[in-house]
Structure 1
Amino acid sequence: MSQGGKVEIVQTTPYEGQKPGTSGLRKKVKVFTQPNYTENFVQCTLDANGAALDGSTLVVGGDGRFYCKEAAELIVRIAAANGVSKLLVGQNGILSTPAVSSLIRHNKALGGIVLTASHNPGGPENDFGIKFNTENGGPAPDAFTNHIHKLSTEIKSYKLVRGLQIDIGKVGETSYTVDGKPFVVEVIDSVANYVRHMEQIFDFGKLRDFVSGKSNGKPLKMRIDSMNGVTGAYVREIFLNRLGAAEASVVHTTPLPDFGGLHPDPNLTYAKDLVDTVAKGDYDIGAAFDGDGDRNMIIGSKAFFVTPSDSLAVIAHYLEVIPYFQKNGVHGFARSMPTASAVDLVGKKLGKEVFEVPTGWKYFGNLMDVGRLCLCGEESFGTGSDHIREKDGIWAVLAWISVMQHTGKSIEDILKQHWSVYGRNYFTRYDYEECDLEPCNEMMATMEKNITAADFAGKSFSSGGKTYKVKQADNFNYTDPVDKSVATKQGLRIVFEDGSRIVMRLSGTGSSGATVRLYIDSYEKENVLGQASVMLKPLIDIALEISQLPKFTGRTAPTVIT
């Protein structure tokens, strides 16, 4: 047993702005590396656990971005001083967000500290983040993060074992004595537990035969892009070593502190290299992940794009081809409110509960914990199931390969068949970034007043030869069926009688401006093979008319189209 050293009490003063969101605290690296900044936030995060911290086990790891390893080593020294009994630390500080959730659940840990700014760019000039996941493996709820913030405004000191030396690059367990109490740091293989978990969910033998071509004489040609984020080692172990794909099937699998200059956000804009490569027609499936591995994008041959809303619906339809769900049953589906309602149609046909929740993965966790939900997703490229309490990019790709293996069809043909049964939800998101906040607030207030007026329901709107009749309209509120907590003002939504929807949300950052997000979900029962931009235009025009967005923002076009 090594001598860990003595607990030091270090005097400090609060920093403003240490208020974590659902996805933790995200700031520039230069903010986190200010004297005592990270120490303060970690101390407050530990303190928010109260008496449960003493003798506890915690998981620590992150996406490998700049400052990840140094922050992990610092957390070890702070945890040692605060009565934590054991830390499970990913080798070199590397753990994907889904892997952290899995480790928390498998080890019955008190929680985990995840070092990530998700899909934000990395490097010394870019972003870093810290978030806490609780004992169910999911992101800390509002009450917990509010407690962290309150503590951060009052902090006067933090605890540290300055002399504790730890090499988190070497797998193994080290025991220390800290002020006479045992403290254990186990540096773990970053991928082993997660890969075992996937093997329990999917039939790797069947998938290996399919990928190699043994089962049908035609190897599956895949292009899996880790975008120099955390998933590299997981992708190599699962797709190359376990499923037998060729080395050329995977790219950008070395986690880099700046993601090699890539923006690790798996969408058509930032995963352009993947899209351009698959567009040539040489691959059956393309997939990309974000920095911390919880988001995914799926494309088929010739870069046939699968919207996250459609991805969720297709997986829901075929869920029982996956052994985990054969064994445990299918217990309901959910989506975030802005996500297209394609999965609702699957739930209705299969006789399953479908939940519509606010944006934020924590809202799914409560429903999973009581067995009412087993599959969920968000339009922002997140898909997951109740195997953990985070969205899970690699899981989603394995689910898609399972569906391809089961049906023997291409991704495009799977989608076309799905649409022929359920109809198609054409979907897009328009982001108007850095708008003036005051007129945006006025726009939202005016629109809310108009759409909640007594005579709005029943109105018809026409454009481009299409007519939509309003069924209901409101500012979305959500009462959690489990803990009865209420989330209000989650976005303006207009639902039409055919199931089409307009959703508008405002994300504001004080006086520095706001992002307006406009979501268009245009349902077609028959015309399912149209060009999305053409099919969406009538409802987009109606949305701009109802919201008066060009008038209030002065914008004639969005900054980003997803």
Structure 2
Amino acid sequence: MKTVSTTPFEDQKPGTSGLRKKVPVFQQPNYVENFIQSVFDSLEDFTGQTLVIGGDGRFYNREVIQKAIKMAAANGFGRLLVGQGGILSTPAASNVIRKNRAFGGLILSASHNPGGPNEDFGIKYNIGNGGPAPEKVTEAIYARTRVIDSYKICETPDVDLDRIGRVEVGGMDVEVIDPVADYAALMEELFDFRAIKAMIAGGFSLTFDAMHAVTGPYAQEILERRLGAPAGSVRNFVPLEDFGGHHPDPNLVHARELYELMMSAEAPDFGAASDGDGDRNLIIGRGIFVTPSDSLAMLAANAHLAPAYASGLKGIARSMPTSRAADRVAEKLGVELYETPTGWKFFGNLLDAGMVTICGEESAGTGSDHVREKDGLWAVLLWLNILAKRGESVQAIAEGHWKEFGRNYYARHDYEDVASDAANSLITELREKLDRLAGTSSKGLVITTADDFSYLDPVDGSTSANQGIRILFEGGSRIVYRLSGTGTSGATLRVYIERFEPDAAKHDVATGEALADLIAAADEIAGIRAKTGRDKPSVIT
């Protein structure tokens, strides 16, 4: 073991999902070591405890895992669990932390961002409940990165990550584990595999696109081997360091091939995809795309059909920008609806306190209290469980839901890699005029209220301010503006547009048409085109 002198880097502030930068940034001498040591220095009483390490298999994953193993040993951890090949999906890592009562875990991923030698990499720390570190921990980590002057590391040979078994590193027990087994067993406990298997045996067809990302091995094991889907039902199942040169984000832009298949005459009954680290999902039925916001609401309304949720839900939580479709489900079920800031870590306290069962975000993340991360395959399996029990198509379930609860037309417009100064200026100017907007109109729409969302955590009493600007209109429509913390360069301006339509006779209008006036108002109110120079979004989901 040795102590190495170092100097701080000024750019190691964690975002909503840890530290994310381009690979060449992480490859700077001492960059990885500084951040990992800062994590360890911000924790207490972990000597002899268990640490979990895994990642999504992207470029530089293996190299960073070797550094992390040697540093964990030098810092006094007693046991370390690492996924074979360095692989652990984010929800699987959460499960391993919880099952083994680990002190915490390091998850190496940039989620849905591209991978490769010049693309993105990320590190985040998850606490003992299996969820992302809360703000007080990430703030302590950042504070430490600004003054760090040394790190501890063992000078030992690399661990063979491809061989399951135990080795010793600097007095620490290192176990390379099967990354899939525990997670697959958990899914089998939650869902009615017998019903799903019978549905598939009866001719139900599905396609799952793993996008050459981490869920390939998980989907093959569960969908094909345990549930009997024909070989080939899982596509792009081999995790690749660069995700095959594609962007592993399960939306209608980057999963276009799957979308086109599901809209064609050759469409299977059900289509789905997951992202780089396995925490996001895309749900498409034959001829119909289910928005993540609608998916959350429909899953919550039908969750009782799965064994794990048969006794009902304790509550539902959604991020503030997520559409309010789930609110009406919560109202009918007689359970609380909690509106939180964006970032899965905000659901952790609610889940730990037993106040909610299902959570979701508009950014294609849904999950439940089985782990403390959003979980892409979990959402796919709950959909399959519902389809098996109801014996209806995805389209029939969606249309029935809208008829009962009303439809929330919804879209997210992303303006990516905007100059940071321009993006910050846009948000600042919006904030300055919020108290003057009520009662004014834009594109014929009357604004009723405007505010900057602030969250008071009902469990620990902490407050998170400046979480997104909300513009509400007469009739229940709204626009939300916020800057994303998941990118690695420039700024991403996200604009969320929502209209509630209770009349079932108007539920077949195209989303773009239903939101046209709100889209125009969003630009007029914030001056997006004038301030960013963009005449259209980079991505619409």
* Length-normalised TM-score, structure 2: 0.95
The one of 148, 151, 155 aligned to 1:155: 148
Shift in alpha-carbon separation, 1:30–1:394, aligned structure 2, 3 A? same
Which residue of 2 is the match for residue 4 of structure 1? none
CA displacement 1:381-422 (0-9 Å, x = unmatched):
111111111000000000111111121111111111100011
Which residue of 1 is the match for residue 20 of structure 2? 26
Quick check: 1:365 aligned with 2:348? yes
Is the CA contact (8 Å cut-off) linking 1:437 and 1:508 kept in structure 2? no
Local SS of the residue matching 1:348: helix
Which residue of 1 is the match for residue 394 of structure 2? 411
CA distance in 1, matches of 2:110, 2:421: 28
CA displacement 1:91-144 (0-9 Å, x = unmatched):
010000000001111111000110111111111121111111000101111111
Letter in 1 for 2:100: N
CA distance in 1, matches of 2:303, 2:343: 23
CA displacement 1:297-348 (0-9 Å, x = unmatched):
111113x211000000000100111111125x41111111111110001111
The one of 56, 70, 75 aligned to 2:68: 75
Quick check: 1:504 aligned with 2:481? yes
Letter in 1 for 2:526: S
CA displacement 1:500-540 (0-9 Å, x = unmatched):
21111235899x85433211001111111211111111222
CA distance in 2, matches of 1:513, 1:389: 29
Quick check: 1:488 aligned with 2:465? yes
Letter in 2 for 1:500: S
* Pairing 1:115-126 to 2, within 5 Å after superposition: 115-126=108-119
CA distance in 2, matches of 1:449, 1:160: 49
Which residue of 1 is the match for residue 455 of structure 2? 478
The alpha-carbon deviation at position 448 of structure 1 amounts to: 3.4
* Pairing 1:525-544 to 2, within 5 Å after superposition: 525-526=502-503, 527-544=506-523
Quick check: 1:13 aligned with 2:16? no
Quick check: 1:295 aligned with 2:280? yes
Which residue of 2 is the match for residue 332 of structure 1? 315
Shift in alpha-carbon separation, 1:235–1:386, aligned structure 2, 3 A? same
Matched positions, count:
537
Which residue of 2 is the match for residue 555 of structure 1? 534
* Pairing 1:105-504 to 2, within 5 Å after superposition: 105-175=98-168, 178=170, 182-213=171-202, 219-281=203-265, 282-302=267-287, 304-327=288-311, 329-438=312-421, 440-453=423-436, 456-457=437-438, 463=444, 468-504=445-481
Letter in 1 for 2:351: M
CA distance in 1, matches of 2:485, 2:285: 36
* Length-normalised TM-score, structure 1: 0.92
Structure of greater Rg: 1
Is the CA contact (8 Å cut-off) linking 2:53 and 2:82 kept in structure 1? yes
Local SS of the residue matching 2:232: helix
CA distance in 2, matches of 1:436, 1:129: 22
Is the CA contact (8 Å cut-off) linking 1:431 and 1:516 kept in structure 2? yes
Letter in 1 for 2:84: Q
CA distance in 2, matches of 1:441, 1:60: 35
CA displacement 1:336-391 (0-9 Å, x = unmatched):
11111100011111111001111111111111110111111111111111111100
Shift in alpha-carbon separation, 1:100–1:154, aligned structure 2, 3 A? same
Local SS of the residue matching 1:186: strand
Unaligned runs of 5+ in 1: 1-6, 214-218
CA distance in 1, matches of 2:480, 2:252: 22
CA displacement 1:486-506 (0-9 Å, x = unmatched):
111111112234322111123
CA distance in 2, matches of 1:472, 1:100: 41
CA distance in 2, matches of 1:326, 1:287: 24
The alpha-carbon deviation at position 561 of structure 1 amounts to: 1.5
Which residue of 2 is the match for residue 216 of structure 1? none
CA distance in 2, matches of 1:257, 1:349: 45
* Pairing 1:43-58 to 2, within 5 Å after superposition: 43-50=37-44, 52-58=45-51
Which range moves more in the overlay, 95-104 or 404-413?
404-413
Letter in 1 for 2:340: V
Which residue of 2 is the match for residue 521 of structure 1? 498
Local SS of the residue matching 2:514: helix
Root mean square deviation of aligned Cα? 1.9
Is the CA contact (8 Å cut-off) linking 1:99 and 1:191 kept in structure 2? yes
Letter in 2 for 1:285: F
Letter in 1 for 2:91: P
Shift in alpha-carbon separation, 1:12–1:548, aligned structure 2, 3 A? closer
Letter in 2 for 1:24: G
